[in-house]
Amino acid sequence: MGVQGLTGFVEERGAFFTELRVRDTKLVIDGSSLYHQLCFASAVDFRRGGDYGPFAAAVRDFFGSLRACRVAPFVVLDGGRGADDRKLPTLRSRAAERLRAAHGLSRGDGGCLVPLLTREAFVQALGRLGVPFVQCFAEADREIAGLANRWGCPVLSLDSDFYIFELAAGYCPLTHFQWQSVCAGGGAQGCYVPARCFSAERFCRHFSHLNRSLLPLFAVMHGNDYLDAAALEVFFSKVRLPRGCAAGKGVKHVRLQGLLSWLSQFAEPAEAVDNVLKYLRKHQREEIRELLCTAVEDYTPADVNLEAFCQDGKYECEAARKADLPQWVLDALAQGKLAPFISDALILRSTFLHVQVENMQRPSAHSTALPIRRVIYGLLLKASQKTEAASPSKQTSELPVVCEFDRLQKTLKKTFVPAASLPTDFCDDHFPLDKLMEVPMSHRQMLLLETLGVKMSFLESIPSHLQLPVAVTCYWIRCSEPKVKLHQLKALLLMIVSGELHRITNDPDPTVVCAEDDSIAYHEFLKWKEKKLQNKDFDLDAAHSFCQWQCCLQMGLYLNQLLCTPLSEPDLSRLYSGTLVHRLYQELKSTPAVENLFSSSPKMTQLYQVLLNMVES
């Protein structure tokens, strides 16, 4: 994220910040940075697939602190990779890093890894809390900067690119935003969040009054997400940077300081670029000039009017217009009702499948959900295939293909996956992408359930918000390799029942009646959770199986969203707890009586039996 080494350099010095009391203001928040930060802060275990309940609670507490200080937040999320796909090398590098982290965690090493459904849990939490947000069409940085300048308010993020943008009210790094330590404040002004704001003025003054307009050129030359510094190695090998700095590994801050000091001799970017090019061979100069100028543009705040989106829900940007997607798809993407995975598959025919802590000797956990993904690709790409078919030079008999980046053992590999032909009952003409919302709900529901291999008549006895997870569980049982063990299934269903018990005993909705036996069962469950676990072993094969379930759930969610939610979307914060499902699995192996955990509640006992009988049948 951002400019290599810049956060470390700025943090080490500390002199480039001013103290800030955040209250009575708007605040533009980088959603990606926030959910990563809250995920890492709320998690106690990264090996077991995530605990979305504590994460959602951290999101709620964060925005509660802002509300107490009369701060009006607006969250801006990254979208897809964009039609130019300029960040592909960076994204591949990050995916390889995640793979290394996942492998380390699977062996018992330390480390952090964002659980698979964290982003979806975050979007759901924003919706429940009524926090306004937008999902940009591609990367959000420029749109965040544009909106913050329009409103004259700070940006809250962890992305070092915001040290470079010219921001009217400055950049507050999340690491210095003390939302858990709200101060009472004196007088009528009231409480505030103590924070620190980066001062570009102090930073530039430190480097011989460097012209602020040269910061984007510095970022690009030093190496950011769009331009690898290797493109300029010839320059760095020949130039004499101030303070005796030289190129080489392990001296990042030395080069960083030397480059800033060298740039300070120039009045404006064009002059600096001309001087950079002098060190390069003549035949390289124009290509590098174009690279530098294009990359510098990335630090110009975007003119996308996000303010209009806040008022009327209409998101418009040039890249979205050029993509020529159906309007309902663009609206759903902006509202976070479709994931960036969908736009990447549709525009680039390329997707990244995020690795989890799984058994690296086995096929990727995502392979279980491949048939669901192929149906998603079929729905998305049939329209474009027909457009291509109008050209006689195109081969129309071949199915569209999507390039998936996934792991093969411990390495990142790309695989070309053909989109599925829809089942014969669902002729392509019945599901045109541009008119998908107009297809009768019963047809959309039938396609979803046929993909998952379940009939609606089986699900009718299940609460509506659990129908999708139960259908996914049936699919998981049928398609997983190796086969799901009975204890794993029972642990998963007991976990789902515990979430339902939590819902009815903690729901503030006065129309939800909580029986006394449900309250007793819930308190007994909490007491059981507090007991010391006898067997703390980590079962990698069980972890792999639960990873497969999450992969199936993720693609089930995406297909349900693409079909305009023919089934209710489940609340992830009450649906999956990796710590709990692993504990239940371990205890069921040694103490089968754990299956009667909710025996005090006839309603929960019945729900568990209904789920178990249905899935087993």
Q: Do 264 and 339 lie in a common domain?
A: no
| pLDDT tens, residue by residue, 562-595 | 999 999 999 999 999 999 999 999 999 988 999 9
Q: Which residues contact 437 (CB under 8 A, 6 or more apart)?
A: 328, 564
Half-sphere exposure of 573 (CA within 13 A, CB side): 21
Three-state DSSP class for residue 609: helix
Same domain, 201 and 267: yes
Q: Are residues 278 and 345 in the same domain?
A: no
Q: What does the pLDDT read at residue 445?
A: 96
**Do residues 42 and 157 share a domain?**
yes
Cβ–Cβ contacts within 10 Å for residue 483, how many?
11
Last residue of a domain, one of 281, 298, 315: 298
The answer as to whether 394 is a domain residue is no
Mean pLDDT value across residues 502-514? 77
Beta strands 25-30; 411-418: pairing state: unpaired
pLDDT band at 14 (very low <50, low <70, confident <90, very high): confident
In a domain, 73, yes or no: yes
Query: With contact defined as beta carbons under 8 Å apart, do 318 and 184 qualify?
Result: no
Give SS3 for 10: helix
Top-confidence range, 309-323, 515-529, 544-558: 544-558
Please check whether residues 352 and 293 belong to one and the same domain: no
H-helix or E-strand containing 194?
Answer: strand 193-198
Per the domain annotation, does 211 fall within a domain?
Answer: yes
- 85 shares a domain with 33: yes
Q: How far apart are CA 395 and CA 319, in angstroms?
A: 29
527 belongs to a structural domain = yes
Q: Give the mean model confidence (pLDDT) for residues 553-564.
A: 98
The interaxial angle of helices 467-479 and 486-506, nearest 10 deg, is 170
Sequence-distant contacts of 237-245: CB under 8 A, at least 24 apart: 238/279, 239/279
pLDDT value of position 558: 98
Question: Given pLDDT bands bounded at 50, 70 and 90, which one contains residue 512?
Answer: low
Q: Does residue 303 lie within any of the structural domains?
A: no
- The tally of domains found in the chain comes to 2
pLDDT in tens, 443-496: 999 999 999 999 999 999 999 999 999 999 999 999 999 999 999 999 999 999
Rg, C-alpha atoms of the chain: 26
What CA–CA distance (Å, rounded) separates 98 from 476? 25
**Residue 10: which CATH number?**
3.40.50.1010
Query: Do 172 and 40 reside in the same domain of the chain?
Result: yes
Confidence of residue 250 (pLDDT cuts 50, 70, 90): very low
Structure tokens at 472: 């996914």
Is 390 part of a structural domain of the chain?
Answer: no
Q: What is the strand order of the sheet 401-408 is part of?
A: 350-352, 401-408, 411-418
Q: Nearest-5° angle of CA 451, CA 431, CA 462? A: 40
Give the DSSP H/E element, type plus range, for residue 371. helix 370-389
Cα separation, 611 vs 590, whole angstroms: 23
Whether 283 is in a domain gets the answer: yes
| 389, part of any domain | no
Same domain, 39 and 185: yes
Distances 77 to 72, 120, 222, 357, 558 between C-alpha atoms, Å: 17, 12, 26, 25, 17
Boundaries of domain holding 355: 324-383+400-616
Overall average pLDDT of the 547-569 stretch: 98
- C-alpha pair distances (Å), 331 with each of 8, 137, 316, 340, 346: 38, 10, 9, 13, 15
As a whole number of angstroms, the distance between CA 596 and CA 354 comes to: 35
| 408 and 524 inside one domain | yes
Tell me: the pLDDT tens digits for 59-110?
999 999 999 999 999 999 999 999 999 899 999 999 999 999 999 999 999 8
